[in-house]
Amino acid sequence: MTDASIHLKAETEVALAAASDLRAWDAVRVSVLGKAGRLTALLKELGRLPPEVRRERGVGLNRLRDELTAAIEARRQALDAAALDARLAAERIDPTLPPRPRPAGLIHPISRTADEIIAIFGAMGFSVAEGPDVETDWHNFGALNIPGHHPARADHDTFYLPAIGDAPPPVLRTHTSPVQIRTMLEQAPPIRVIAMGRTYRADHDATHSPMFHQCEGLVIDRAITLGHLKGCVTDFLRAFFGLSGLPVRFRASYFPFTEPSMEVDIGWNRRTGELGGGGDWLEILGSGMVHPRVLANCGIDPRQWQGFAFGMGVERITMLKGNIADLRPFFDSDIRWLRHHGANPLAPATLHERA
Amino acid sequence: MKFTLSWLRAHLDTDAALARITDTLTAIGLELESVEDRGAALAPFRIAHVLDATPHPNADRLRVCTVETGGETVTVVCGAPNARRGMKAVFAPPGSVIPATGTVLKVGEIRGVQSAGMLVSARELALGEDHTGIIELPEEAPLGVPYAAWLGLDDPVIDIAVTPNRGDALAVRGVARDLAAAGIGTLRPWNPEPVEGGFPSPVGWRIDWPEACPWVLGRTVRNLRNGPSPQWLQERLAAIGLRPINALVDITNFLTIDLGRPLHVFDADKVTGGALAMRRGAGETFRALNGRDCTVTDEDCVIADAAGVQSLAGVMGGAATGSDEATRSVFVECALFDPVRVALTGRRHGIISDARQRFERGIDPALLAPGLQAATRMILECCGGEPSAVAAAGHEPRWQRSASLRFARLRELGGADVPPDEAVGALQRLGFTVEARDAERVTVAVPSWRNDVEAILRNYTADPGLRSDLNAETGLLDQAPALSPAHRREVAEACAQTEPEYDLIEEVLRLRGLDTVPPVSLPQAEPVPPPALTAAQSRTALVRRTLAAEGLAECVTFSFLPSATAALFGPAPSALRLVNPIAADLDQLRPTPVATLALAAARNAARGQPDLGLFEIGPAFAPEQPQGQHLVAAGLRTGATPRNWAAPARPIDAMDAKADLWGALTAAGAPLEGLTVTADAPGFYHSGRSGVVRQGRVALGTFGELHPRLVAALDLPAPAVVFELLLDAVPEPKRRKRAAADLSPLQPVRRDFAFLVGAEVAAETLLRAARGAERGLIAGVTLFDVFAGGGLPDGQKSIGIEVVFQPRDRTLTDAEIDAAAAKVVAAVAKATGGVLRSSS
C-alpha cells in the first residue's frame, strides 16, 4: 500500500468519525469517492503506471475502495440510526394520557334477558310471536277462559281504555297470554312459540310496577305431555341461570287457561339470595297444560291437539340473575343505574359463548 | 284462608307432624302462605310442682327448690322472691333455649349448690313483661303437661291460598278432605243429627227470582238467650283473626269457615210481615252490617221483608234485622245463590265478604239441609231456645253428573304412569264414586262440592239472563267470532268430551304429587332448529345493538305519561287516556317514546347528569284501530360531547341526531341511496333544525332539535336533540341473490370541486346531481366543506365535494377525466344554479 493510500484511509476514518450529520458525512463521501475525490484521483493515476506496477497497485486500490465504501456506508447507517433515535425521543408522548373517548352505550338488562331467553328457547325450536299492548277484552280474558265475573279477574288489576261503541272497553294487556290466542288463530298446529313484551297491571310498590314484562311460552302438538312441560321449563331455568343442578319444584295450582296447572319454584337461599341451594323455594313461573276450552275458543280440536303454556316475569329472573334488589329502577332510566347494570351491545347471547 | 291445627284435626284424624301437613297442602295446590306456631319455642317448658323451697346456704336472696317435673325430682336454685313450697310453676329443663334471651340452659352450680334447670318468669318465655317473679300457676294446673298446651298456645295457625276454582277448600272440612285424600290421616265422619222442629216457622220464604236463588231453607229458634259464645268458639275465631261478637254471629262465622256454608241470622222479631222474599232490588237503600249504606239495583238479588230490603243476597246482611245481645228469636237463612250473580253484585257494591267469596266460587248444593241442622244444634247448645220446623222455598237443583277417565290418558296427557287402581283410589278418597269401570276407563259420579269438575252451565250460572253473553250452544266457551258455526260446534263438542277427563287427570296428578311426573326434554322437530326471529325482529335486534354501540344507553320507559306532557308531543286523544290510571301522572298512552325519554333525560339532569344519550325501542300509540301501535326506535342526546384533552367539548346538535338515525336506518336495512329529507318535522321539533327522512312519500324517521319551548317546559338541558325511526315503515329488504362485489383492479381518480350556490340550496340536491352526472363512472361523492361569509357574496355559500371516478376496464385518459368532470359541473349547475369556484 502506498503512502497516499495509507493517508487516505487514515484521514477518511478520522473525517467520518468527525461527521456528525448527514451533510458532513456526504462531504466526506464526495471528497473520497466523488468525481474529484481523492480515491478517484488515485485510480486515475493507475493508467499512467507501467503494467506490472499497475497490476499490483490496482489490486491494492480496489481493496482500499471496498474498505472505504464500507466504512462510509457504515457511518451513514450509524448516523441514520442516531437520527431516528433522536426523532423517536423528540416524538415521545405521555402514554398515560386517557384514551380518546369512544362512544360506549349499553343494552338494558330487560333486553339482555330477552336475548338470552330467545337464545335458549330458539335452541329448543321456539320462534318469537308478538301482539299489541292494547288488547280486546276477548283476547286478554274471554278467550283465555276468564269470563267477566271470574274471580281471577280481580287479581289482574286491569287498566282500561274508553269503550268504543257497545264493545267491552279495550284493556292494556295484563299478561302476554293474549299472544297465545293470536298465534293459535293465525297458525295451525303444531305450534312452538314464545311471546315477550310489556304487560300492565294497576299496582305500584317496591315489588310491583304498573308496567312490567312477561315471557310466555306455548307448545301445541299431538303428543305433548305434562312431562314435556316439566322438561322444557327445567331445561330453560337451568340454562338461563347457568346452574345444571338447579333444583326445580312443580306444585299444583290454578290458572283459568291451563289444566292441570302448576307453579314452578326454584331452590335458593332466602337469606343470601344465592340460587341453587339453601333449602328454600322461590316461585318463579306459572304453567300448565292448555285448557281444552282455550283450544276450542281458538278453533283447535282438543281431541287431536294438546300442549302446554307457561309464563314468567322477565324482571324477576333478571333481578335474580343480575343480583338487582329493586324493581323500580328498571324504568327510571337513571344513567348511573343503566351504566352499572347495562350489558355490552356486542356481548353474545348465543349458547356457545359465555357472556 | 286461615285455620288452626286443632280446628283441622276436628275434621282430620291424623298425628302427622305440622311440617308434613303444610308441605302436603302446598304440593296439592292449597299453597301454604304462612304458619304461625307460637307454641314451638315453648315446647320444652312443662308445668312443675315445687315440693320444697329452702334458703340457699351461701346466699341470702336465693332459694334451693326441690321440683317435681312430672317424671323426676330435681334441685333448682331460684332467685325469685315468690318461689315457695307447694306452688305450681313452669320448669325449664337443661338443654332448653330460653326464648327471651336465646341462651341454652345448662346444669350449673350456683354458690356451691347444683341447679338442674330453672323456674321461669313470663318475660323469660317472651310471654309478657312480668319479671317480678316466676310464673305462678293455679293449683289445678296439670303436672308435667307442656305449659304452652295448657295455655292453648300450642295450636299453630295455618294460612293457605285457595285458588278461585276451589270453593270447596274455603272450608276447614274441605281442606281436611283433600289432606285425607293425599294420605294425611282420615276424614272424620260428620253427620249432624237432625233437630226436630216443634212448631211452624213464623217467618217463611218466598222466591220471586228463582234464577238468582233456586233454593233456600230457614227456621226460627225462639226463646233463646244471645250472649258471649263459649270459650272454645271464641278462641277458635280469635286465633284466625275473627273478633268474637256474640254467640249467634260467632256460630254463623264458625260454620262459614268450618263447612264453607255461609249462613245469616235475622232477628225474627225485627222481620216485618212474616215472610222474606228473594227478589230483584228496586233502587232501595239499606244499611249493611258493615255500617255502610248500599243502594241496590234490579241486577242485585236482595232479601226483603214487608218493610224493605234486609240483606244483599250472598254478600252481606242488613243492620236493621241483625242480631244482638237482646235478640230472643232468630230466623236462620241457609240459601243457594247464583255464583255469577253474587260475584257481579259484590263487585258492583265493592263488598268483599266471607260469604261472597264462597258463594261466587260455588258452594256445595247438597249441604243446605245438613248445614242448617248443624247451625240449629249449635244455637241450641250455646243459646238454648226452641227450634221451629224448616221453612223452604224452591228446590234442590240437579247437580248430579258423572265424568270418565281413560287410564291411558294419564300417560298421554299427564306424562305419568299411574296404575288404574291408584287413580281410582285417589278419586274415591276425594269423594268421587265409581259408577262403572273396565280395563280402559272409569266413570265416576262427581261429588256435590266439586263444581270445578265437569263444570256445566247450570252449576256455573243458573240464570239465563247471565248466559246471554255466553254462546248458548257451546256452554262455557267464548269462541273466536271468526270461526264458522260448523267449526265452532265441532270443537265445542270435542271440548265437552275432553274437559271432564282433564279435570280428573288433574285430581289424580295433584294428589300423587306433580313431582312424580318425570320431566322429558322437548323432542326436536328438526336437528338444527329454524331461526327464532323473523326478519323484522332480527332487524330490530340489530338496530338496538347498533344504537348502543353508537354510545346511547338503552332505556325502558313507561308506555304512559301525564296527558299534559303527552300533549306537548302531539295529540293526546281521550281514546288513549286510561279510564283508571294508577296515578294522575300515568294516564295517557304515549304518542312517541321520545316523550318518555325526554322525561327520563330531565330526571337525569336533575341528578346532575346533563350530558347523555338515551334510546328506547318500544311502542308509540295512535288512536287508529286496529293498527294503532307502532314500533319506534327513538333516541335523545342532551348537552355536549365529552370534554377531553384531544378535542374540546362541543354542543350536541341536530346532525348528531341525524347520524344516530342514519346508523339505525343502515342497521334496519333501509335503502339509504333512495332516501330524501324534508323539513316538515312535527311541531315538537325546532322548525329550522329538523328533518323528516322519507322513502318516496313514506316517512321512515324524523330527527332534529327539540323545540326550545318544550325544552324549557320539561326542564331539559339545552340543546336536546332526538330522532325517531318507525321500524314498521322500513320495508323488508327483498330476498334476492346478492350481486358479486365490483372490485376494479384500476386505481380510482379523485377530483375536488367547490361550487358557489345559493344559500337556500339543499346539499342533498347538489349531491344527487353530482352522483347522477356520469353513472357508470362516478363511484362516490363526498361533501367535505360548506362555507358562507368571508369573501363570498351575500346569499351564497360554497360547497366542496370530492368525486371518485372509478375506471372499469382501462385507465382513464386526462381528456376522459376532464370530460367527466365537466359533466359533474354541468349537472350541478342545472340542478342548483351553482357555478364552479375551483376544481383540483
Domain ranges of chain A: 3-90, 109-354
The one-letter amino acid at A265: D
Residue numbers of B between 309 and 368 with CB closer than 8 Å to A: 339-340, 343-344, 347, 360-361
- Which residues make Cβ contacts (< 8 Å) with residue B138, sequence separation at least 6? B88
CATH class of A109-354: alpha beta
Q: Would you give the end-to-end CA distance of chain B in angstroms?
A: 89
C-alpha cell at position A263:
307453579
Nearest to B506 by CA among B402, B432, B410, B406: B410
Q: What is the pLDDT of residues B93-120, one digit of tens each?
A: 998 888 888 889 888 888 888 888 888 8
Q: Does B644 touch chain A (CB under 8 A)?
A: yes
C-alpha cell at position B701:
324517521
Q: What is the largest CA-CA distance in chain B?
A: 131
Tell me, letter by letter, the H, E, C secondary structure of A104-159: CCEECHHHHHHHHHHHHHHHCCCEEECCCCEECHHHHCHHHCCCCCCHHHHCCCCC
Q: What is the largest CA-CA distance in chain A?
A: 133
A134 CB neighbours in chain B (<8 A) are 589, 621, 628-629
Identify the top-confidence range among A17-21, B790-794, B828-832.
Answer: B828-832
B628 CB neighbours in chain A (<8 A) are 132, 134
DSSP for A225-270 reads -HHHHHHHHHHHHHHHHT-TT--EEEEEEEETTEEEEEEEEEEE-T
Confidence (pLDDT) at B518: 96
Question: What residues pair up with B427 in beta bridges, in sequence order?
Answer: none
Distance CA B203, CA B210 (A): 19
- Note the pTM of the prediction, 2 decimals: 0.86
Q: What is the pLDDT of residues B577-615, one digit of tens each?
A: 999 998 888 999 999 999 999 999 999 999 999 999 999
B315 CB neighbours in chain A (<8 A) are none
Region class of B673: left (phi > 0), else alpha (psi between -120 and 50), else beta: alpha
Residue B734 binned pLDDT confidence (cut-offs 50, 70, 90): confident
Nearest chain B Cα to A307, which residue?
B413
- Best of B506, B516, B546, B632 to disrupt the A interface by mutation (most A CBs within 10 Å)? B506
Asked if B495 and A296 count as a contact pair (C-beta separation under 8 A), the reply is yes
CA dihedral A292, A298, A302, A303 (to 10 degrees): 150
Question: What residues pair up with B206 in beta bridges, in sequence order?
Answer: B277
Q: Is the pLDDT of residue B474 over 80?
A: no
Q: Is the pLDDT of residue B512 over 60?
A: yes
The one-letter amino acid at B20: R
Confidence (pLDDT) at B791: 84
Q: Which residues of chain A have pLDDT under 70?
A: 1, 154-155, 350-355
Greater confidence (B60 vs B657) lies with B657
Confidence (pLDDT) at B469: 45
C-alpha cell at position B68:
317435681
Strands B215-222 and B330-336: antiparallel
Query: Is the bond into A190 cis (omega within 30 degrees of 0)?
Result: yes
Q: What is the DSSP code (8-state) at residue B825?
A: H
Greater confidence (B81 vs A292) lies with A292
Q: Do A125 and B343 touch (CB under 8 A)?
A: no
Out of B415, B589, B625, the one facing A228 most closely (by C-beta) is: B415
Query: Is the bond into A95 cis (omega within 30 degrees of 0)?
Result: no
Residue B467 binned pLDDT confidence (cut-offs 50, 70, 90): very low
Is A33 in a helix, a strand, or coil?
helix
Q: Do A254 and B163 touch (CB under 8 A)?
A: yes
Distance CA B706, CA B106 (A): 77
Q: Does B27 touch chain A (CB under 8 A)?
A: yes
Confidence (pLDDT) at B364: 94
Nearest to A142 by CA among A171, A164, A165, A183: A171
Q: Is the pLDDT of residue B147 over 50?
A: yes
- Which residues make Cβ contacts (< 8 Å) with residue B204, sequence separation at least 6? B218, B274, B275, B276, B391, B393
Q: Do B554 and A148 touch (CB under 8 A)?
A: no
C-alpha cell at position B569:
308531543
Confidence (pLDDT) at A352: 64
Nearest chain A Cα to B517, which residue?
A227
Residue B461 binned pLDDT confidence (cut-offs 50, 70, 90): low
Residue B468 binned pLDDT confidence (cut-offs 50, 70, 90): very low
Nearest chain A Cα distance for residue B277, angstroms: 25
Nearest chain A Cα distance for residue B499, angstroms: 6
A124 CB neighbours in chain B (<8 A) are 522, 524, 529
DSSP for B113-148 reads EEE-SEE--TTTTTS-S--SS---B-TTSPTTSBHH
* Predicted-complex ipTM score: 0.88
Q: Is the pLDDT of residue B23 over 90?
A: yes
Q: Do B604 and A334 touch (CB under 8 A)?
A: yes
CA distances from B815 to B778, B812, B840 (A): 16, 8, 15
Mean pLDDT of B642-648: 90
Helix H or strand E encompassing B832? helix B814-832
Q: What is the pLDDT of residues B342-385, one digit of tens each?
A: 988 998 999 999 999 999 888 999 999 999 999 999 999 999 99
Nearest chain A Cα distance for residue B450, angstroms: 15
Asked if B13 and B185 count as a contact pair (C-beta separation under 8 A), the reply is yes
Confidence (pLDDT) at B626: 55
C-alpha cell at position B499:
274437559
- Number of helices and strands (H, E) in chain A? 12, 9
CA distances from B574 to A163, B589, B691 (A): 11, 10, 29
Out of B29, B344, B523, the one facing A149 most closely (by C-beta) is: B344
Nearest chain A Cα to B487, which residue?
A299
A195 CB neighbours in chain B (<8 A) are none
DSSP for B190-251 reads --PPP---SS--SSEEEES-TTT-SEEEEEEEES----PPPHHHHHHHHHTTPPP--HHHHH
- Best of B24, B32, B495 to disrupt the A interface by mutation (most A CBs within 10 Å)? B495
Nearest to B501 by CA among B448, B431, B446, B428: B446
Q: Does B728 touch chain A (CB under 8 A)?
A: no
Q: Does B529 touch chain A (CB under 8 A)?
A: yes
What mean pLDDT is reported for chain B? Answer: 91
